[in-house]
């Protein structure tokens, strides 16, 4: 799985077109909520982007791009990020 969704928009897409916020998909909203929670938790724990990057095998600019939704994170990246803060990302399969 290269990204969570190939056609998922980035934060830059939303900033360019403010009307995009009104038609945000549930998946995009969930991703934003998840990254906002992880980002806020990292700050509350007084962990720098550099320190986080060292824990999860990324450079600081990569962590910044991830947190700012410049790139679409992979599930593996989200799991590493969450685990470094003491959390676990889980998925579930439910009927459509």
Distance CA(63)–CA(39), nearest Å, equals: 10
Measured over the CA atoms of residue 21, residue 22, residue 27 and residue 29, the dihedral's sign is positive
Distance CA(95)–CA(67), nearest Å, equals: 31
**Is pLDDT at 83 greater than 90 in this prediction?**
yes
**Mean pLDDT for the chain overall:** 83
Distance CA(36)–CA(52), nearest Å, equals: 15
Q: Would you state the CATH architecture of domain 11-84? A: Orthogonal Bundle (1.10)
pLDDT above 90: percentage of residues in the chain:
51
Q: What is the pLDDT of residues 25-57, one digit of tens each?
A: 778 888 888 999 999 999 999 999 999 999 999
Distance CA(4)–CA(53), nearest Å, equals: 20
Domain ranges of the chain: 11-84
């Amino acid at each position: 799985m290269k990204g969570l969704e190939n056609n998922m928009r980035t934060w830059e897409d939303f900033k360019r077109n403010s009307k995009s916020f009104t038609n945000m998909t549930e998946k995009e909203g969930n991703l934003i909520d998840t990254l906002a929670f992880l980002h806020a938790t990292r700050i509350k724990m007084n962990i720098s982007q550099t320190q986080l990057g060292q824990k999860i095998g990324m450079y600081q600019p990569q962590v910044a791009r991830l947190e700012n939704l410049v790139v679409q994170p992979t599930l593996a990246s989200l799991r590493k990020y969450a685990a470094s803060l003491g959390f676990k990302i889980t998925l579930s399969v439910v009927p459509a």
